[in-house]
Amino acid sequence: MHIPEGVTAVIGLGVSGRAICRHLTRLGRSFAMLDTRAAPPRLEAFKAEYPDVAIYCGPLDAVDFSRAFEVVISPGVDPLTPGLEGLLDEHNPATNEPRLVGEIALFKRAVKAPVAAITGANAKSTVTTLLGEMAHASNVAAAVGGNLGTAALDLLEAHPDAELYILELSSFQLETTPRLGAAAVAFLNLSEDHLDRHATLERYRQAKARIFIHAGLAVVNADDPLTWPDDTAVPVVRFTGHAPGQEEWGLVTFVGQQWLARGADRVMRVDALGMAGRHNYMNALAALALGEALGFSRAAMRTVLETFKGLPHRSEVVDTLNGVRFVNDSKGTNVGATLAAIEGIGATLEGRLVLLAGGVGKGADFTLLAAPLARYARQVLVFGADAQRLKAALTPTVAVREVETLEQALEAALEVARPGDCVLLSPACASLDQFANYEARGEAFRQWVLRQRSEVNA
């Protein structure tokens, strides 16, 4: 296939790809749709909506992009896919950007209001949602989306009068964004994830660190130097899980109570938070730092933190059965997320953790889980495609039992758990070996627990 001169090639018939097409249609730009899959979902619906748009499905190395005005890829498409070689390095004089970009580059060109952006290996959805709630409580007309919820380009159409756009951004979105130029950004944490795409932790970090390009202010994790910008000219505010410096956000102890604080200024007690666990204290501190940078009301931010209970599938307490708490952290799809859940919840228990883990490990190093599990776990139940890798990494540090499915893991957990324990689903893996997505996995966990509750009450 040859892309005609002046036509934009859009690659990826998913949520972002369709949002890109709608945006280009609003701009009156000609485009062609491509997808590497032979029969992508919603193909017929796309043909019906865009009958005059050329469509190609198949390997991209069979496509001639040499005359295309621009190539815009969805986040799920690797910019190094065969057929796209060199396009990131080619300059487009019409846009003063590379010839290959992603949806966020188009968003940046079109947006008229300030942008706040959040990235990190974990917790970015929680902090993004928190910041959106804080904006609304402060009477700021904010639109929230990106990697979370509504695609960034669709936000422009749905909320044209927004005073602020708050975006969760993944490494896949950032690696094809030449310059974001956000008013305030946050890089929350870094741990191994998506190594099947980025190959190394450093390349993953470099993709995420693009969030700092032309940023007005950066909120970073003082305890994780890998989240700091390489450009020392970027203004930085740090948050920490320890006592903060004068200009930092952190945790202080006063009269036996732990507080969220800005330097020596105590803001609120941690036991007033609607979210539990030390990892959520860090999320609250990051959101407060961003909110202050954006001029939000501190009283309004405190009210949000008191009432916000967290997002589904993220350290979500489903129920307590016979004194055993069941927590759904299905969004824990990498080792860093699971480490945060283990440390955050384990330290608060009277009993021990029974961890349910497994799925597609994406090449992660599971041995990092061994030490915290030795401190907090009664048993680990592993299932799914990488169950044997998990078992090998954790044995003999902690008791590990291998089963085939999540349901079998839950049945085994019910047998071994004791009052005061917590059964924690935090898989450290993607879900696609046994479930459509992490939401479906979390919902299976939730429904199983609720069935046990109904049997107890019958």
Active site residues: 124, 147, 194
**DSSP-assigned letter for residue 438:** H
Beta strands in 352-429 (DSSP E): 353-358, 377-383, 400-402, 422-425
Q: What backbone phi and psi angles, to 5 degrees, belong to 271? A: -75, -5
> Other CB atoms closer than 10 Å to residue 104's CB: what's the count?
29
Q: What is the dihedral of CA 175, 210, 191, 231, to 10 degrees?
A: 150
**How far apart are alpha carbons 146 and 167 in whole angstroms?**
5
Q: Rounded distance, CA 409 to CA 221, Å?
A: 35
Pairing mode of beta strands 257-262, 249-254: antiparallel
Q: Are 363 and 397 in contact (CB under 8 A)?
A: no
**Cβ neighbours for 38, distance < 8 A, ≥ 6 positions apart:** 57, 58
CA distance to 197, 314, 347, 431, per residue, from 276 (Å): 33, 11, 11, 25
- What DSSP assignment string belongs to 403-424? -SSHHHHHHHHHHH--TT-EEE
The answer to whether 258 and 277 are in contact (CB under 8 A) is: no
Cα(297)–Cα(302) distance, integer angstroms: 9
What is the b/e burial string over 441-451, where b = at least 16 CB atoms within 10 angstroms of the residue's CB? bbbbbbebbee
Q: Characterize the bridge pairing of strands 142-146 and 164-168.
A: parallel
Report the DSSP pairing between strands 91-92 and 97-98: antiparallel
What are the C-alpha distances in Å from 303 to residues 264, 280, 314, 421?
21, 16, 21, 31
What one-character-per-residue DSSP string does 33-86 give? EEESSSS-TTHHHHHHH-TTS-EEES-GGG-B-TT-SEEEE-TTS-TTSTT-TT
CB count within 10 Å of CB 40 equals 17
